[in-house]
Structure 1
Amino acid sequence: MMVVALKQVGTTVLHREVLKMSVKTSDGDFVIGGIFSIHYYTRSEQNSYKWQPSQLQCSGRSVMDFRELRFARAMQFSIHEINNRTDLLPGVTLGYQIHDSCSSVPMSIKVAFQFASGVELVFNDTGICSKSAAVPAIVGESASTPSISMARTLGLFGIPQVSHYATCSCLSDKHQYPAFFRTIPSDQHQAAALARMVKHFGWTWIGAVRSDSDYGNYGMASFLKAAQKEGICVEYSEAYYRTQPRSKLERVANVIRRSSARVIVAFIASGDMRFLLEELARRPPPPLQWIGSETWIIEPELLRFNMCAGAIGFGIPRSVIPGFREFLLDLTPAEALKSPLLTEFWESSFTCNLRGRTDITEGARQCDGSEDIHALHNAYTDTSQLRVTNMVYKATYAIAHAIHGLICNDTQCDKNIKFTPWQIRNQLKRLNFTTRNGFQVSFDSNGDPPAAYELINWQFDKDGALDFITVGHYDSSKPRGQEFRMSRNISWVGTQTEVPESVCSESCPPGTRKAVQKGRPVCCYDCIPCAEGEISNKTDSLDCLRCPPEFWPNTKQDTCLPKPVEFLSWDDTLSIILTVFSIAGAFMAVCVAAVFYKHRTSPIVRANNSELSFLLLFSLTLCFLCSLTFIGQPSDWSCMLRHTAFGITFVLCISCVLGKTLVVLMAFRATLPGSNVMKWFGPPQQRLSVLVFTLIQVLICVLWLTISPPFPFKNIKQYKERIILECGLGSTIGFWAVLGYIGLLALLCFILAFLARKLPDNFNEAKFITFSMLIFCAVWITFIPAYVSSPGKFTVAVEIFAILASSFGLIICIFAPKCFIIVFRPEQNTKKHLMGKVPSKAL
């Protein structure tokens, strides 16, 4: 419990001082309180604790804010208008008691207690607060910080406070401020809208200044939080309040001058902004694009600072209040004398003495009645853009509607009904009406109205003077992405039409990614090219995307293109060359067969087993032609055909050579006395051996095709930038079984031919077979490393080359000598010549 002790002295003086606080009063059945920041400072005195401290008063040196005076007069006008209506509070009159807070928290709290308790000549120290509040509700305060103090105080008594200009988002907390309402949107909406607007224009590197008050600190905190979500970086964030030392103001101005950000967001009160702009005007910084909050972006007195030309920000929607201008101008010297503040306004506006005193303005004349208020051009008489004034109008009507809901029914009102401030608060929560000038009034669960702003742009008019131009609208009730609605072009800083740039680093083009510079904000980065196989297809990509397996980046690395599919196609130069050799080899085999057939009765053909020779030529023809199956795009049938055809034809070919070798070898063993070995190597046995050898390969191929056949597949691992379309082996065992069987027959044939190489054969058959097998084995032994190391389509080309080389080796070594004798040495193609060359043979 806090104990307060006050000395009850000077009660008459106290009564007189309390009455001085009132700007304007009017009696009524229900008196509504009002408080506005008409002055900026209070009179401060040193407390000696020897006598009772004097009451708080506004400083006589404080400059009057004519716009705030207009707000106070707007409350008066609203109540006059309500009292003249028959549909709202019929038969009931509203009064008002308007006070000046002097922009001071102590004065605001003092007025709050005054509203809660009324005028008390003596201090009530009984601890019993049985008296009801002096006012049912209050309009005001203008600033956020005094409003916070008032809301905490009035909330204890349950007295609703409807502010017209306190925008701090903190006041939406109903746990701390249960009786606070406002007709102006919360800064939470404005901060989010400002961040979205900054992001929309591509500014990622900004400066920020704020008032060092609840309004500026809470508003800037909300903005910075929203800006961070939008990826916006803040180079600096400075705070200033007009009562702080000048050195602080100079430091803030120097930070702005030295910064590299060309866009500055100012969440700052109009009074603080005036001080800051005056300081910057001493040594102007580079052209800046100003982004303003609602307090200063619509302040007419700041239009004299041309450095802010092109400034944009959110302002309260402009309105028209019918009859309000006439009410403001309906002020006579006699009426002005009834209120100290109206008297001060008259004397300040016309520089004359209205009260007959000489200490007001040095050298001022006496007001003589010639003063014409219609000729004044100041913030009091300027009704061209009624924005906050309309918020006062709405706040006053809201309280009137709340009272109407408590004491009135469909036909009449009972002004004798007693109600508590809490009932007024509950009525305010349920309000939803439209004012005479067409504006909707309602409050959400936080006591806030829907957020609606005009996008204001400072543009030069035809006369070269700055003016407020509405270029768009913002409505928070619209779906996300549709809140903004532009109505005309924006004039930017320097009257340029292009949006100015303000970035720490230039945008990273597609094909690169952003890499944050160490120790600097995320908006300061380097552009790093994407790694191999990766792309970025948009500007300022944070990461590069890896292309799908069958795609590869283009040269700019901004698009994934299908990888080129590589195989040995028919139109390839290498394919054409190999095809020519393949057909030429087959044609050669056919020609040799034709020569042999034509001379089939000649001794040289008959002596070398013509039947095996024709079968060998047939198999060689197939060997040449099977190489063609390796050319072209691999498919299921071509992959199975090429390997099986190759395996079977080569086994058939080697079987024939093996048969010829055995015939040569056994023919000379048969000449030995008592040997009848030739009966086991006659034509039937030769045919059978070739058939058996070939069937074994056929069986291997059938098993291979049945268990796991070759298949076409896209090889994407061997090369990163292209796809090799090739035939997979399927069963590796099957493939090596086919090759191994061919190799086994070739090795056996080579051994037998090597053993028979020195036999006295007139035509050196065994020697030629030995050479052919030597070439065959050499080709296929060197084929293996060449096949493994060859890239892409050249792998298939190596395989074709091996087939052609071994086939040409066989046909040239075995048949070329015989054809030479048949065609060019026919005299040697005789039985006599054949027999004469072998004297050891029995004829």
Structure 2
Amino acid sequence: MSQVYILLNEITFKELPSPKLFDDHIHFTASWTYLASMELLSRRGKLIPNYKCDIENTPIAVIVGPNSDIIFYMTTLLSIFSIPQVIYGSSSVTNNNIQGVFFYWMFPDGAYQYKGILQLLLHFRWKWIGVLSQSDDNGERFLQSILPMFAQMGICTDFLETFPKLGFSGELNQMVEEMSETTSIIMGSTANVVVVHGEIQTIMAMRVIPSIADTQDILMLNKAKVWIMTAQMDFTAFPFQRTWDIYFLHGAISFEVHSKDFLAFQKFLQMRSPILEKEDGFIRHFWEAAFLCSLPPLSLENKHGEICTGEEKLETLPGSVFEMSMTAHSYSIYNAVYAVAHALHDLHATHSSKFKQPSMVDRLRWELLNQQPWQLHKFLSSVSFNNNAGEEVSFDQNGELATGFDIVNWVIFPNESFLRAKVGTMEPQAHPDKRLTIHDDAILWPKRFNQVQPLSLCNENCHFGYSRTKMEGKPSCCYDCLPCPEGKISSQKDMDDCFECPEDQYPNNDQDRCLPKEITFLSYGEPLGITLATFALSFSVITAFIFGVFMKYKETPIVKANNRTLTYTLLISLLFSFFTVFLFIGQPEKVTCLLRQTAFGFIFSVAVSCILAKTTIVVLAFMATKPGSRMRKWVGNRLASSIVLSCSLIQAAICIIWLITSPPFPDFDMHSVTEMIVVKCNEGSSIMFYCVLGFMGLLATVSFTVAFLARKLPDSFNEAKFITFSMLVFCSVWLSFVPTYLNTKGKYMVAVEVFSILACSFGLLVCIFSPKCYVILLKPELNNKGQLVRRKNEEQGRLTCN
């Protein structure tokens, strides 16, 4: 690198002419920038552009920045002469591709910064923000780039405001007036986060906000915002702003071009003195403004009462006036100088290879000093080196610095000093999911939020069990929260819609998670199953007992009356009907499902057909007693057996067709009971099931009608009255069964059917056989043939009188 130092010593750095600085005047105007650019192209002290005399130094490269307007105005002139421009400020503001080839940006691709801001907002779940930008082309380009990205990811802006243009500090009143309305909008916004796109001078305008807020009686502590600032910004101020409060910046987060601090840089600053550096006009102006004193020789218009000694220490200044650490902008300038130096070194090395003899050094210097600026492009575009911090510096194919961004948290102290704490990085070269790295615990938030991560939402999150719905006339980030409808849940905040649980799960009461459903069926292990099984067993025992009584007294008149065989068949069918109950209790299996409804339907059809046969025989027997009646040949076991057999066969045929075409099978009912999976027998064909019930109902209706008509026929042991009442009970039970069965869910459907079977069977048993058992067991004197004749005559005499 010795050659580089030689070259730098041979080049005289031009001091640009500075306009007269009035009290705290700051210039951001095109005229002064153009003037400075033309001075670079002129003889020292004379404004004669493009004029050379002998070997006077001419710029081979220019380090430009930090303001985008300065860059734009300078490149208009410098690009004409193909001068390489190493830019350390904002990203490009020109669309001129011809000019763009002369740019070398000490700044990464701005698109990565925008993506970093987006990822930062998403990381902290900030969906409701404000945006402040410059009122220029650069600000417009920023909004055009970032707003569609925000909208695509569901981030809404409460306001879009611009900073006033900065000119002379004498125009401060106008700037304050323009900022007043903006401040009202910012402080009145419900957004707690404000994205600020600006440049190095932007914080000058931002520092006006607390003063305006005071005049508007806005307590800044209660309205504190989290400012997210772009990397082009830096802490700057008008001289008169040095005592202004900067605590409103506490907790701000800014992007900065990746940088490292140097201890040697602080030592370098400690050695600066206007006494030792009289040639440097800038340090004199800075010294007087920073230490509020005047350096000799004093002018007629002494700005400050005190006289500077030149021994003042920069480290004694508060951070709001001067930072001793190397900022990102300083680091960029440092790397820019070394990038040019390395390019010059490579240029020197190329030319030195042509001159082998040491005596040619003077000629080498002459050649270098007369190099054309365009010749440096080749070396500058390919420059790559490690700086003193050990970091590689190089440009990508677009002439932009191949580096990332640091994410910095601004910590403001009571003495108006501040600290930029690095809390994360944005690495463009990393995987998209790993580009943003941020340490949440290291961030200090504004005091208003009590060190809890702020929320920035249009309204509160919709909690679990709720879904959001759009509010009419509001941005998409503003919404109402509606409870999930029955049967649906939301297990996350701010869900657009509730969703149903899987079939084997059901929503809890809060509708925020799914619980596994229990498998259930009518079992012997629960009170309902035990109760029904106990009744079925008890009624079976009673039926068996009655059957035994009838077998024992089978030769008595009361047993013989109305066909003894039908009585036995009826009792046996009732006994089996009680036994069918046990097919309905317990976990359904393939066999039990096949037998449940078919056995129940067939057995009840046999029982009802027996009752129909009994009633028919009573009617025919009475008709046969009339003189000359031809009905006698129909009275007997043959007709009764035919009725029972034909009715039973019809029901059997229906059941067989059912089993062949669409047999019942075990099934899981996921939906009828919310919290249960009901193991049930699927009927296979509902039509066949109701055909079985319908045929049984038809038999019952016919039996009831015939019995009702024959209820007053004279016969000592006439069963028509009892059959009428039993059929009335039977029909009532089954008529109420159908709607009840259809409106019941789960295992209770089975319980309703079991109860109906027990009620009907027991009703038939009690209504038909209890009077006979009463006579057989308690009134045996009535169970004789003489009593039968006597009662028969009494009945006939009563009918004759009537």
Structure 1-normalised TM-score? 0.76
1:703 to 2:657 alignment: yes
Would you say 1:650 and 2:590 are equivalent positions? no
2:116 aligned partner, one-letter code? A
Aligned with 1:159 (options 63, 78, 83): 83
AA aligned to 1:250 is S
Rate the CA distance shift 1:565–1:381 in 2: closer, same or farther, 3 A: closer
Instruction: Give the distance between the partners of 1:231 and 1:801, measured in 2 at CA.
Output: 59
Amino acid at match of 1:449: L
1:116-131 equivalences under 5 Å are none
Q: For the residues of structure 2 that align with 1:765 and 1:138, how far apart are their CA atoms?
A: 125
1:402 corresponds to: 343
Structure 1: which amino acid aligns with 2:553?
A: H
Paired amino acid for 1:185:
P
Question: Using the alignment, how far apart are the partners of 1:328 and 1:754 within structure 2?
Answer: 122
In 2, the alpha carbon distance for the partners of 1:779 and 1:454 equals: 83
Partner of residue 310 from structure 1, selected from 234, 246, 251:
251
Q: Per-residue CA shift, 1:425-465, capped at 9, x if unaligned?
A: 3444433321233122122233222443333333356x855
Out of 551, 572, 591, the position equivalent to 1:597 is 551
**Distance in 2, Cα, partners of 1:608 & 1:675:** 19
Structure 2 counterparts to residues 710-721 of structure 1, below 5 A? 710-713=664-667
The question of 1:60 aligning with 2:13 is answered no
- Aligned twin of 2:439: 486
- After superposition, the Cα gap between the structure-2 partners of 1:424 and 1:735, relative to the gap in structure 1 and judged at 3 Å, is same
> Counterpart in 2 of 1:255?
185
* SS at 1:513 equivalent: strand
Does structure 1 retain, via aligned residues, the 8 Å contact 2:570–2:611? yes
How do residues 245-284 of structure 1 correspond to structure 2 at under 5 angstroms?
245-246=174-175, 247-278=177-208, 280-281=210-211, 283-284=213-214
Assess if the C-alpha contact under 8 Å between 2:262 and 2:326 holds in 1. Answer: no
1:434 has 2:386 as partner:
yes
Report SS of the residue matched to 1:408. helix
Verify the 8 A CA contact 2:131 2:157 in the aligned structure 1.
Answer: yes
Aligned residues of 2:467 and 2:497 also touching (Cα < 8 A): yes
Distance, in Å, in 2 between the alignment partners of 1:839 and 1:264 is 111
State whether residues 317 and 387 of structure 1, in contact with CA within 8 Å, keep that contact through their aligned partners in structure 2.
Answer: yes
Which of 108, 112, 129 is residue 185 of structure 1 equivalent to?
108
- For residues 365 and 815 of structure 1, the distance between their equivalents in structure 2, rounded to whole angstroms, comes to 130
Correspondence 1:55-204 to 2 at 5 A: 58-61=19-22, 103-112=28-37, 134-164=58-88, 166-168=89-91, 170=93, 177-204=100-127
Alignment deviations for residues 28-53 of structure 1 (CA, whole Å, 9 cap, x no partner):
699698899xxxxxxxxxxxxxxxxx
- 2:654 alignment partner AA: I
Q: Which letter does structure 2 place at the counterpart of 1:189?
A: Y
Question: Taking structure 1 as reference, are residues 824 and 457 closer, same or farther at Cα in structure 2, changes over 3 Å only?
Answer: same
- Contact 2:258 2:403 (8 Å CA) reproduced: no
Q: Provide the residue aligned with 2:508 in structure 1.
A: 554
Q: Report Cα offsets for 1:48-88 as digits up to 9, x if no partner.
A: xxxxxxxx9623327599xxxxxxxxxxxxxxxxxxxxxxx
Quick one: which amino acid aligns to residue 617 of structure 1? L
Q: Does 1:388 align with 2:329?
A: yes
Shift of 1:582: 2.8
Give the RMSD, CA atoms, in angstroms: 4.5
Listed as ranges, the matches of 1:504-583 within 5 Å are 504-548=458-502, 551-562=505-516, 568-570=522-524, 574-583=528-537
Structure 1 contact 535–547 (Cα < 8 Å) conserved: yes
CA distance in 2, matches of 1:27, 1:61: 37
Q: Shift of the alpha carbon at 1:595?
A: 0.7
Which residue of structure 2 lines up, in the alignment, with residue 16 of structure 1? Answer: none
Letter in 2 for 1:286: M
For residues 304 and 490 of structure 2, the distance between their equivalents in structure 1, rounded to whole angstroms, comes to 75
Could you tell me whether the CA contact under 8 Å between 2:129 and 2:156 is conserved in 1? Answer: yes
Residues 151-181 of structure 1, C-alpha deviations (whole Å, 9 max, x = no match):
35544554321111x2236469857623222
Task: Specify the SS of the correspondent of 2:411.
Answer: strand
> Partner amino acid for 2:442?
N
Q: How far is 1:590 from its partner? A: 0.8
Identity %: 32
Structure 1 range deviating more: 523-532 or 593-602: 523-532
- Alignment match of 2:421 (pick from 470, 474, 498): 470
Contact 1:34–1:139 (8 Å) recurs in 2: no
Q: Alpha carbons of 1:532 and 1:34: their partners in 2 closer, same or farther (altered >3 Å)? A: farther
Count matched residues.
Answer: 751
Q: Are 1:336 and 1:346, in contact at CA under 8 Å, matched by a contact in 2?
A: no
Number of the residue aligned with 2:578: 624
Aligned to 2:407: 455
Query: 1:704: how far off?
Result: 0.4
C-alpha distance in 2 between matches for 1:123 and 1:274: 34
Which amino acid in 1 is paired with 2:432?
R
Contact 1:639-1:710 within 8 A present in 2 as well: yes
Matched residue SS, 2:580: helix
Kept after mapping to 2: 8 A contact 1:210/1:267: yes
Gaps of 5+ in 1: 1-25, 37-55, 66-101, 126-132
Q: Structure 1: how far apart are the matches of 2:203 and 2:191?
A: 19
Structure-2 separation of matches of 1:660 and 1:363: 132
Residue in structure 2 matched with residue 815 of structure 1 by the alignment: 769
Q: Which amino acid in structure 1 is aligned with residue 400 of structure 2?
A: D
Work out the CA distance in 1 between the residues paired with 2:725 and 2:265: 120
Q: How much has 1:762 moved relative to structure 2?
A: 2.0
C-alpha separation in 1, matches of 2:347 and 2:299: 51
Residue pair 1:508, 1:541 contacting (<8 A) in 2 also = yes
Task: Give the aligned partner of residue 230 of structure 2.
Answer: 293
Relative to 1, partners in 2 of residues 1:332 and 1:519: Cα closer, same or farther, differing over 3 Å?
closer
Matches of 2:762 and 2:644, distance apart in 1: 21
- Code of the residue aligned with 1:472 in structure 2: it is V
Mapped contact 2:67–2:200 kept (Cα < 8 A): no
Whether contact under 8 Å (1:454, 1:470) holds in the other structure is: no
Measured after TM superposition, the shift of residue 709 of structure 1 is 1.4
**After superposition, what is the alpha-carbon deviation per residue over 1:595-638, rounded to whole angstroms, capped at 9, x for unaligned?**
11222233332344333322221111111222343344545433
Cα 1:348–1:744, aligned 2, differ >3 Å: closer, same or farther? Answer: closer
- The verdict on how the C-alpha distance between 1:193 and 1:785 changes in structure 2, with shifts beyond 3 A counting, is closer
Pair 1:759–1:141, CA change in 2 (3 A): closer
Cα distance in structure 2, aligned partners of 1:806 and 1:309: 85
Question: 1:290, CA displacement in angstroms?
Answer: 4.2
Give the residue type in structure 1 aligned to 2:123. Answer: H
The CA distance in 1 between the partners of 2:25 and 2:586, in whole Å, is 94
1:811 is displaced (CA, Å) by: 2.0
Structure richer in helix, relative to its length: 2
Quick one: structure 1 residues 530 and 658, their matched pair in 2 at CA, closer, same or farther if it must change by over 3 Å? closer
What is the CA–CA distance in structure 1 between the aligned matches of 2:249 and 2:382, rounded to whole Å? 42
